[in-house]
């Protein structure tokens, strides 16, 4: 369980994002590739993404690098989805590259305890290894996510409309209260389904 503690200033600063976070889209798409549940709803994307990844020579990186770091329905290292991803792919990747080595080591160690990290994952503490990894992320994003950008943005706009109605009728707390099913608002704390117990503050 992740528990995010809000104060009055945090609530006043809470906004609806106008666009998807590219690094979370990478993570979500990785999870979708690993799941057969509900695949019929994403069948077109699944076939196209697998074809494009194969044609661009990314299948080995998908199996050997990405899938091991983004296990479905499980913890994966938090440094892979920095908050700056909300400002766009390049902003998020710059932060990922700048992550202190100690933080990378700690999160990979936690990942290893909870899930089992691939043997090479510890190398991501080295900036050079992270630069190579960022290159893989860019290539994957271009092949699997960019072709779906219009569809993703349409989903974001639909979600913003729903959340906007909650905001109009109940303020920020009303909006947060309607997020479910994996998020629950218990003022002043937003509880999020998460593989480990964590306390945090809004970014």
Query: Does the reported pTM lie above 0.85?
Result: yes
The token pair at 54 is 């194969």
What pLDDT is attached to residue 60?
A: 95
pLDDT tens sequence across 138-156 = 999 999 999 999 999 999 9
Top-confidence residue, 199 or 6: 6
Sketch the domain layout of the chain as residue ranges. 2-200
State the Cα angle at 200 between 196 and 203, rounded to 5°: 125
pLDDT tens sequence across 113-122 = 999 999 999 9
152: closest CA among 16, 21, 13?
Answer: 21
- pLDDT for 38 beyond 70: no
Beta bridge partners of 185: 190
Reduce the DSSP state of residue 190 to 3 states and report it.
strand
pLDDT tens sequence across 2-32 = 889 999 998 889 888 889 999 999 999 999 9
The token pair at 130 is 């992270």
- pLDDT for 73 beyond 80: no
For β-strands 198-200 and 183-186, DSSP reports them as unpaired
């Amino acid at each position: 369980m992740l528990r995010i503690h809000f104060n009055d200033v945090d609530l006043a600063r809470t906004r609806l994002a106008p666009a998807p976070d590219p690094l979370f889209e990478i993570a979500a798409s990785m999870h979708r590739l690993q799941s057969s549940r509900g695949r019929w709803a994403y069948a077109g994307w699944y076939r196209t993404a697998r074809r494009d990844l194969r044609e661009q020579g990314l299948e080995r990186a998908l199996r050997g690098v990405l899938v091991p770091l983004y296990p479905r329905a499980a913890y994966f290292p938090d440094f892979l989805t920095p908050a700056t991803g909300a400002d766009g792919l390049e902003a998020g990747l710059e932060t990922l590259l700048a992550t202190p080595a100690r933080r990378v080591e700690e999160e990979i160690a936690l990942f290893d305890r909870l899930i089992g990290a691939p043997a090479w994952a510890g190398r991501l503490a080295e900036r050079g290894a992270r630069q190579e990894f960022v290159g893989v992320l860019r290539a994957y994003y271009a092949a699997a996510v960019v072709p779906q950008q219009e569809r993703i943005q349409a989903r974001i706009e639909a979600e913003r409309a729903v959340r906007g109605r909650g905001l109009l009728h109940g303020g920020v707390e009303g909006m947060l209260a309607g997020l479910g099913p994996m998020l629950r608002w218990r003022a002043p704390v937003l509880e999020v389904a998460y593989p480990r117990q964590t306390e945090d503050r809004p970014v």
